Amino acid sequence: TFSKLSLCLSFSTDAMANPSPAKSMGDPGITPLSPSHTQVQSEPSFVVVVAIDFGTTSSGYAYAFTKEPECIHTMRRWEGGDPGVSNQKTPTTILLTPDRKFHSFGYAARDFYHDLDPSESKHWLYLEKFKMKLHTTANLSIDTDLHAANGKRVKALDIFAYALAFFKEQALKELSDQTGGEFDNNDVRWVITVPAIWKMPAKQFMREASYKSGLVSRENPEQLIIALEPEAASIYCRKLRLHQMVDLGTQTTQNGFSPTDNVGSGMTQAKEHVRRNRQSRTFLVENVVGELWSELEEGDRYVVVDCGGGTVDLTVHQIRLPEGHLKELYKASGGPYGSIGIDYEFEKLLCKIFGQDFIDQFKIKRPAAWVDLMIAFESRKRAAAPDRTNPLNINLPFSFIDYYKKFRGHSVEHALRKSNVDFVKWSSQGMLRMSPDAMNSLFKPTIDHIIQHLTELFEKPEVSDIKFLFLVGGFAESPLLQQAVQNMLQGRSRIIIPHDVGLTILKGAVLFGLDPSVIKVRRSPLTYGVGVLNRFVEGKHPAEKLLVKDGTRWCTDVFDTFIAADQSVALGEMVKRSYTPAKPSQQVIVIHVYCSEKESVGFISEPGVRKCGTLRLDVSGTESTAPRREIQTLMQFGDTEIRAMAVDVSTGRTVKASIDFLSQ
């Protein structure tokens, strides 16, 4: 609707005190006002911080009261955990009734769905591993759809909102039980973790889902912090004492055990240690800086490799002493190389043996049995190790064997014999017997991706001389991955794995919520700027951008950069620019904010530049005495989100806008 209002802005040259050395876009002799950096306002006060780790494969929450920040409580144990899988978190699975109302989440959703009669279950909507859709959808919007197990489509925003509402209810219930009264949501600061490599639309999507779920209100956005997963891990790893981690690089004693050459054994002992301490559910995070951290000096660099279910996130941090603040040295990289890649490889193997047509049919006709098969695979997947010699057995559900015979007219056993797939045999107990080599080959593509990415990262100049590599996230427990990372690094830096590796991010997110200022400097993922008019200069500006208005020659579509991609930004940094309306009589000023992944942008019409926000300032009915009206535009960076505002200097009128990455 605003597109008809032609926005004409030129630079107000009279307001050009102390020009900044900001990279000019080749405009004739004018530079924007120097960006003024203002500090963040004081933090609002909350009684408790609750962090939600909304994972691809599993999710959970943890909390700490601001009065005792060293006590981090993790959530209650979930009902219905799996054998062989620690149930500190619950699976990220959600079940909706046939009329699309929320029914259950986690183990409860999975078990209920599983117990439904097949004729009923096809009407229920069951979703799992849906978080990856936010990373893989190219043009993510509020209307993006997800597919349930029965093939029906649902709005992604609804599903994410249902999940967050579930965690809100669980956490508030637990807090009420602890404090002996109704706990008020306004006393909670919520933290939601997202992968650092997510693009801006996906991060904003999580915030929109939070508003929809009632976690926080639009009027009070400060109540929610979107935290980056590897940053949260980084904050927690600073607190580690030597007995809380496995150090793969050295053969030192941890926990009174001396790790043998077997990579996995240290982890097994660590798990036992965690299991023994699991009953308490409260982790004491000592307020001292951990022993590990005390070995780090000003300027030391370390890498956090966050290996989750969906993504692998690599972040390079540097220590800033004395407070031990963190500075992001190299922009987050990584990709969709999480542990669900192994599940896809298993599915590909099944397609090879039984035929893609059968597997596709089976998933739709017997969705609960398919879920069962993947659960059986999950627990065997965790038993894969470099030195394993005996085969892994995977139970095939009876309905799989039965349905296959109906579908093909011959037995599962016959299919296996005929398929020529090496290393996978049929056992008379109704199981697929996979040799360790067969299982390890399912890991190979995913692990190769991670190693390739790490190799490329370590070749970057910013990433020379890394003291530690922290391996965190649920997939970091895999001995196969640990060994691959060790072989690749060849002792170039020490590999540290926290014991409770699956909860590292959750606990770090709580610490971040208690003190968000600990991360001081980030790299901007995008270039931001606004569209302006500049005086047209012959020979410099392209002829097709010439616009003549009231006898003045303007160059249109000029991109005025506020911050460039990969530039360091301090948390809460404010960048300010001044403009003036090209026509003094203008009643409304519309300022469009644009962004691009490219570092240098000349014009808003270049490919890859997209509009991500609009500031609409009404300047009617106020006559300004100044010869040229000054409009200031401010953008605040450094948090995971960006805010923009415009001020009419003569009247003090202000408009704010949050940058929108979701409208197509």
* Final residue belonging to a domain, choices 502, 520, 538: 520
pLDDT at 20: 29
For 305, the 3-state DSSP assignment is strand
Do 314 and 372 belong together in one domain?
Answer: no
For 266, the 3-state DSSP assignment is helix
In DSSP terms, 466 is beta-bridged to 301
pLDDT at 231: 86
pLDDT at 48: 96
Per DSSP, the residues of 378-401 read HHHHTT--TT--S-EEEEPPHHHH
CB distance 88 to 283 below 8 Å: no
For residue 89, pLDDT beyond 60: yes
Quick check: is 259 in a domain? no
Quick check: is 311 in a domain? yes
CATH number assigned to the domain comprising residue 639: 2.60.34.10
Report the chain's mean pLDDT, rounded to a whole number: 80
CATH number assigned to the domain comprising residue 466: 3.30.420.40
For 87, other C-beta atoms within 10 Å of its C-beta total 18
pLDDT tens per residue across span 387-444: 899 999 998 999 899 999 999 999 999 998 888 787 888 887 888 999 999 999 999 9
Do 421 and 379 belong together in one domain?
Answer: yes
CA 403 centroid distance within chain: 39
Between 16 and 361, residue with greater pLDDT: 361
Quick check: is 293 in a domain? yes
Average pLDDT over residues 607-617: 85
Element spanning 326, H or E: strand 325-335
pLDDT at 3: 32
Quick check: is 633 in a domain? yes
pLDDT at 590: 82
Do 545 and 621 belong together in one domain?
Answer: yes
pLDDT at 253: 34
Cα dihedral 447, 449, 452, 458 sign: negative
* Residue 254 banded pLDDT, cuts 50, 70, 90: very low
pLDDT at 92: 94
pLDDT at 285: 57
Do 173 and 308 belong together in one domain?
Answer: yes
pLDDT tens per residue across span 291-345: 666 777 778 888 999 998 898 998 888 877 666 677 888 878 888 899 999 999 9
Average pLDDT over residues 651-661: 80
Quick check: is 255 in a domain? no
Do 186 and 297 belong together in one domain?
Answer: yes
- What is the distance between the alpha carbons of residues 471 and 273, in angstroms, rounded to a whole number? 18
Average pLDDT over residues 65-93: 76
Q: Burial code of 607-631, b = ≥16 C-beta within 10 A, e = fewer?
A: eebeebbbbebebeeeeeeeeebbb
CB distance 657 to 612 below 8 Å: no
Residue with tokens 């606004």: 530
CB distance 301 to 317 below 8 Å: yes
Element spanning 460, H or E: none
Range of the domain at 419: 340-441
* Final residue belonging to a domain, choices 520, 537, 561: 520
Do 90 and 127 belong together in one domain?
Answer: yes
* Final residue belonging to a domain, choices 520, 538, 568: 520
pLDDT tens per residue across span 495-540: 888 887 888 899 999 999 998 877 777 788 889 998 888 888 888 8
pLDDT at 10: 32
Tally of domains within the chain? 3
Do 487 and 583 belong together in one domain?
Answer: no
For residue 645, pLDDT beyond 60: yes
Quick check: is 331 in a domain? yes
Distances (CA, A) of 559 to 27, 33, 390, 555, 565: 10, 15, 63, 11, 14
pLDDT at 33: 30
Quick check: is 480 in a domain? yes
Average pLDDT over residues 619-632: 70
Do 353 and 319 belong together in one domain?
Answer: no
For 359, other C-beta atoms within 10 Å of its C-beta total 18
Do 191 and 79 belong together in one domain?
Answer: yes
Do 125 and 213 belong together in one domain?
Answer: yes
24-33, 470-479, 583-592, 621-630: least confidently modelled range: 24-33
pLDDT at 152: 92
Q: Which amino acid appears at position 545 of this protein?
A: K
pLDDT at 35: 37
* Residue 81 banded pLDDT, cuts 50, 70, 90: low
Closest to 187 measured CA to CA, from 197, 201, 176, 196 = 176
Quick check: is 35 in a domain? no
Do 570 and 615 belong together in one domain?
Answer: yes
pLDDT above 70 covers a percentage of the chain that reads 82
Average pLDDT over residues 441-454: 94
Do 167 and 243 belong together in one domain?
Answer: yes
Closest to 581 measured CA to CA, from 603, 543, 549, 559 = 549
pLDDT at 207: 92
